[in-house]
Chain A
Amino acid sequence: MRRLPAGLVAVALLAVAATACGSSSSGSSGKSSDGVTTVRVGVIPIVDVAPIYLGEKKGFYKERGLDLTLETSQGGAAIVPGVVSGQFQFGFSNTTSLMVARSRNVPVRAVANGVASTGKAGADFGGVVVKGDSPVKSPKDLAGKKVAVNTLKNIGDTSVRESVRKAGGDPKSVEFVELPFDQMPAALDAGQVDAAWVVEPSLSVAREQGARVVASNFVDVSPDLTIALYFTSDKLAQQDPDLVKKFAEATRASLAYAAGHPDEVRDILATYTKIPEKTVQALTLPRWPEEPDRASLERLGELGRQDGLFDEAPDLDALLP
């Protein structure tokens, strides 16, 4: 009686240990003897991160001694905790999410620019679309309508409200609902929502199905809106400033290269997304400036404060590189 349960308990504990332990082993970056550092970056498999894939292929990271592993995740919700806990050294996140994180004392800071709006109204890589025969003709008409955004209380509803506000409508009366981007064209088609804020490639798909762009919400916030950034944890930034500097340099080089080689950007999309070829050729690419646009971020922070995402506009000095 005595001996057996002890054995069984030991087996059970081992099984639990196999699942629960070792969480620290794979997290930290490893430096091998030849000076190459393994760096894990949490990204979302979307058009916006094409430069980092391209930069890795071009060797911009390798030549600085960084061996990049790009870990795809389905949204910023998994990336921010991943970076804070050290599973990833760096991550990709939209600017509003980082501001919200910072306002809640999550220890993250940006290290490099991510992606920016094209700044051209009607020809941006994201916008608010309605059905071709919709009575909505301008952002003002969105008042009182049901608009789909991918995440509530984030960059989507904040910027769409600004479009409505600027056109003279009542931003408070817009009803936002949450839907994944890829389901928006179908929801719009079926009349479940009156309008949808979509980004590429869903924007091209919606347009192909007859949807019409009524607002370029990014452009309405600021002509050069910085939409996303690469970031790291405060801890890594303090412990290994050299690694952060190398990553920032390589990313800067990647952004510049991507900005100058749109055809190669379209080619690299086929390696990590499954966007159909005709959509790849049709979609509007974002801009990839090397530096974040501070003025646009101040504006975005102010809008976030107005909409109650955080109590006071975030301290950009603590957030930006």
Chain B
Amino acid sequence: MTRAVVNGGPSAVRRRGAGNAVLGLAGLCGFLALVEALPRLGFVSPDHLPPSTDIAAALVDEMSDAAFWTALGDTLTGWALGLFIAITAGITTGMVISIVPYLREATASTVEFLRPIPSVALIPLAVLLFGTGLRSTLLLVVYAAFWQVLVQVLYGVQDTDPVAEETARSYGLGTWARIRHVLWPTALPYVMTGVRLAAAVSLVLAITAELVIGTPGLGARIAVAQTSHAVPDMYALVAVTGLVGVLINAGARAVERRSLAWHQSVRGEVTP
């Protein structure tokens, strides 16, 4: 009730949504105009930052090239596979650590030690183990995304209402039933936050791996454009990675909203 009143009702929410979209679009247009103006007015050399119209032309060129779509596919494969492995491993590991007595305390320092190690530092290891193939990308992606999910699962499970937990126990619910009906619903909002963060981090690491190691994908294509001094092409590809990031984030938010439709944070207060 209160929330609906503050927002001025559902139609106001819709209007505000439309207003946000217009504002967002205006912001984007402003940014594009800035990139167009800076080189044209001589603030930066167009050799180093071409105007946005040149970048757009290069983007159209790229899109007519089959190799571009293959590269995009390679990047998305590395991203999706890595994210999937990280989520599966993160959730299972997190649940096991939370459920098995004393395991959380025993692993806490190790987790805190491993978590801040940047994935990029593992590049030499990845190359040594897997060369310049997809598995090198996966190693970096999984390592970066895994901790995002794991830590959220740990926090999520810790947030379980002790009364609900005790009630479940006193009703004789088994481990599986307690996970299913008590731990999992409590942890899910945290897990979804972890998944959303992991989805973004995975893309960053997939592109980084391609850029630095040369595994096939958009990143490797950016690197080739860079070494070839095809400056507009390079910026066009960079823009594509940004675009993919926006889509991935929008997708992750949609998944989050759907899977948490029942949760307070998404559904809000019930309006009469």
Q: Which residues of B contact A15 (CB under 8 A)?
A: 85, 88-89, 92
Q: Which residues of A contact B133 (CB under 8 A)?
A: 26, 87
Task: Please report the C-alpha to C-alpha distance between residue A11 and residue B132 in the assembled complex, in whole angstroms.
Answer: 27
Task: Please report the C-alpha to C-alpha distance between residue A72 and residue B100 in the assembled complex, in whole angstroms.
Answer: 46
Q: A4 near B179 (CB under 8 angstroms)?
A: yes
Q: Which residues of B contact A1 (CB under 8 A)?
A: 99, 174-175
Nearest CB in chain A: distance from B92 CB, A: 4
- Given the interface pairs A78-B132, A274-B228, the reply to whether A8 lies near B214 with Cβ below 8 Å is no
Q: Which residues of A contact B45 (CB under 8 A)?
A: 186, 189, 209
Task: Please report the C-alpha to C-alpha distance between residue A209 and residue B46 in the assembled complex, in whole angstroms.
Answer: 11
- Given the interface pairs A74-B213, A85-B128, the reply to whether A274 lies near B225 with Cβ below 8 Å is yes
Q: B47 near A274 (CB under 8 angstroms)?
A: no
Q: Which residues of A contact B124 (CB under 8 A)?
A: 77, 81
- Tally A-B pairs: CB < 8 A: 121
Q: Which residues of A contact B130 (CB under 8 A)?
A: 23, 87
Interface of chain B residues 61 through 111 with chain A (CB within 8 A): 85, 88-89, 92-93, 95-96, 99-100
Closest to B99 in A: A5
Q: Which residues of B contact A82 (CB under 8 A)?
A: 127, 131-132
Closest to B174 in A: A1
Q: B213 near A273 (CB under 8 angstroms)?
A: no
Interface of chain A residues 131 through 171 with chain B (CB within 8 A): none
Nearest CB in chain A: distance from B202 CB, A: 13
Taking the complex as formed, is A71 at the interface, i.e. its CB lies under 8 A from any CB of chain B?
Answer: yes
Contact of A74 among B47, B96, B214 (CB under 8 A): B214
Q: A275 near B139 (CB under 8 angstroms)?
A: no
Among B95, B128, B213, B229, max chain A CB count under 10 A is at B229
Q: B228 near A81 (CB under 8 angstroms)?
A: no
Q: Which residues of B contact A73 (CB under 8 A)?
A: 132, 213-214
Q: Mark contacts of A188-216 with chain B using CB atoms, 8 A cut-off: 1 yes-contact digit, 0 otherwise.
A: 01000000000001100100010000000
Number of chain A interface residues as a range:
35 or more
Q: Mark contacts of A60-97 with chain B using CB atoms, 8 A cut-off: 1 yes-contact digit, 0 otherwise.
A: 00000000000111100110011001011000000000
Among B45, B85, B92, B95, max chain A CB count under 10 A is at B92
Q: Which residues of A contact B127 (CB under 8 A)?
A: 77-78, 81-82
Q: Which residues of B contact A201 (CB under 8 A)?
A: 228-229
Chain B residues within 8 Å of chain A by Cβ, number: 42
Task: Please report the C-alpha to C-alpha distance between residue A42 and residue B215 in the assembled complex, in whole angstroms.
Answer: 11
Q: Which residues of A contact B228 (CB under 8 A)?
A: 45, 182, 201, 273-276
Q: Mark contacts of B210-253 with chain A using CB atoms, 8 A cut-off: 1 yes-contact digit, 0 otherwise.
A: 01111000001001111111100100000000000000000000
Q: A87 near B131 (CB under 8 angstroms)?
A: yes
Task: Please report the C-alpha to C-alpha distance between residue A4 and residue B95 in the assembled complex, in whole angstroms.
Answer: 10
Q: Which residues of A contact B179 (CB under 8 A)?
A: 4
Closest to B214 in A: A73
Q: Which residues of B contact A274 (CB under 8 A)?
A: 224-225, 228, 230, 233
Task: Please report the C-alpha to C-alpha distance between residue A272 and residue B129 in the assembled complex, in whole angstroms.
Answer: 26
Taking the complex as formed, is B14 at the interface, i.e. its CB lies under 8 A from any CB of chain A?
Answer: no
- Given the interface pairs A19-B138, A72-B220, the reply to whether A11 lies near B129 with Cβ below 8 Å is no
Task: Please report the C-alpha to C-alpha distance between residue A263 and residue B229 in the assembled complex, in whole angstroms.
Answer: 20
Q: B223 near A276 (CB under 8 angstroms)?
A: no
Closest to A75 in B: B214
Taking the complex as formed, is A12 at the interface, i.e. its CB lies under 8 A from any CB of chain B?
Answer: yes
Task: Please report the C-alpha to C-alpha distance between residue A192 and residue B146 in the assembled complex, in whole angstroms.
Answer: 40
Q: Which residues of B contact A26 (CB under 8 A)?
A: 133
Taking the complex as formed, is B205 at the interface, i.e. its CB lies under 8 A from any CB of chain A?
Answer: no
Among B85, B95, B132, max chain A CB count under 10 A is at B132
Q: B214 near A72 (CB under 8 angstroms)?
A: yes
Taking the complex as formed, is B115 at the interface, i.e. its CB lies under 8 A from any CB of chain A?
Answer: no
Q: B132 near A182 (CB under 8 angstroms)?
A: no
Contact of A209 among B47, B142, B212 (CB under 8 A): B47
Q: B131 near A275 (CB under 8 angstroms)?
A: no
Taking the complex as formed, is A125 at the interface, i.e. its CB lies under 8 A from any CB of chain B?
Answer: no
Q: B129 near A276 (CB under 8 angstroms)?
A: no
Nearest CB in chain A: distance from B17 CB, A: 39
Taking the complex as formed, is B267 at the interface, i.e. its CB lies under 8 A from any CB of chain A?
Answer: no
Taking the complex as formed, is A185 at the interface, i.e. its CB lies under 8 A from any CB of chain B?
Answer: yes
Taking the complex as formed, is B171 at the interface, i.e. its CB lies under 8 A from any CB of chain A?
Answer: no
Q: Which residues of A contact B175 (CB under 8 A)?
A: 1, 4
Nearest CB in chain A: distance from B144 CB, A: 13
Q: 14 extra interchain contacts, Cβ-Cβ under 8 A, other than A12-B88, A81-B127?
A: A11-B92, A12-B93, A15-B92, A26-B133, A45-B223, A72-B224, A73-B213, A73-B214, A78-B131, A87-B130, A274-B224, A274-B233, A275-B230, A279-B229
Interface CB pairs A-B, < 8 A, 29: A4-B176, A4-B179, A9-B92, A12-B89, A15-B88, A16-B89, A19-B135, A42-B131, A45-B223, A45-B224, A46-B227, A72-B132, A74-B211, A74-B212, A74-B213, A78-B131, A78-B213, A81-B127, A85-B128, A181-B227, A182-B229, A186-B45, A189-B48, A205-B47, A273-B224, A273-B228, A274-B224, A275-B230, A276-B229
Residues of A within 8 A of B (CB): 1, 4-5, 8-9, 11-12, 15-16, 18-19, 22-23, 26-27, 42, 45-46, 71-74, 77-78, 81-82, 85, 87-88, 180-182, 185-186, 189, 201-202, 205, 209, 272-276, 279
Lowest 5 A-B CB distances belong to which pairs? Answer: A87-B131, A274-B230, A73-B214, A274-B228, A275-B228
